[in-house]
Amino acid sequence: MTTQNKGVAIVSEAVCEAIVGRPEAFTAVENIFAAMAKNDACNFPVVREAIGHADALYGFKSGFDRAGQVLGVKSGGYWPGNAANGLTNHQSTVILFDPDTGKLKALVGGNYLTAVRTAASSAVSIAHLARKDAKVLGMVGAGHQSTFQLRAAVEQRNFEKVVAWNPHPEYLPRLQAVCEELGLPFEAVSRETLGAQADVIITITSAFEPLLKKDWIKPGTHIACMGTDTKGKQEVDPQLLVAATVFTDETEQSVTIGEAQHAVGNGSLSPSDITPIGEVINASHPGRRSDDEITLFDGTGVGLQDLAVASAAAELAIAQNKADWTEL
């Protein structure tokens, strides 16, 4: 980040939305996954707790990117009642520090950035693992995050159709509207039909039970499981992970709070069977080995993703004179 003697940079949600797009988020996330795989960046232990008020989950994700010289923490969580008040259920702020001195450098709005970094994560997995000839994108989930996922995904392959399922079908029109804007045919289908048709599937729900069964998935499919980020959550059949080649953002989170927690927990999958996607980015792992191979990305969401996109936002805001400044 550009060094200036103006105090602490404040980068608002509005500024983040104006200056950080999908390309910037994709590059930041891809680079941090690569740095993690080289042990040039480290996530610190996650704190995530139910606070006993407003049914909220609150926590901290922190880390240090030695390669990019980014140090900080994302603080926030999930307030399920916010939507009724016109607010985003996920609320967060990213705090960046100078790694040389520990001095506070920037406060960056984290709500929009959380959405675009999560979408960038699945997009990176599609870019590196999906078949080049993938034509049908399947979306499981139609909540707030789903439109970010959809927009990022369609930029990675020449999709010709989008099929979708949601436990509450009344939310599917939000995905249909995006498809109409992008000129892509859209169809609401059953889960079984989605599995039979889709070449790439993104799951982005808050489910605590498997929504997709192994037998529904056709050979060659790439699946990005993006909703499971807490102990007990689950989106797919554990046997699907056994049948697939599994990749993740961080193995430790994958086996404890990610989609792999269930297959590892019942002994059908070993942590050693899971590959950090950074190894594919760095070309130390081949990634997809055949057109019939099922690949699965367990996107648990790591603090370094947040720090990477927040640092990019701060850099851009300062360079474009869009940051506010304060002294503590």
DSSP state of 154: T
- Residue 277's contacts (CB-CB under 8 Å, 6 or more residues apart) are 33, 37, 124, 125, 128, 129, 247, 248, 249, 297
In DSSP terms, 324 is beta-bridged to: 10
Nearest to 249 by CA among 204, 301, 290: 301
Q: How many angstroms separate the most distant Cα atoms in the chain?
A: 60
d(CA 36, CA 66): 10
In DSSP terms, 106 is beta-bridged to: 9, 96
74, 135, 214, 322: which one is catalytic?
Answer: 74
Q: β-pairing, 47-50 with 41-43?
A: unpaired
74 is catalytic: yes
CA atoms within 13 A on the CB side of 307: 32
Catalytic residues: 74
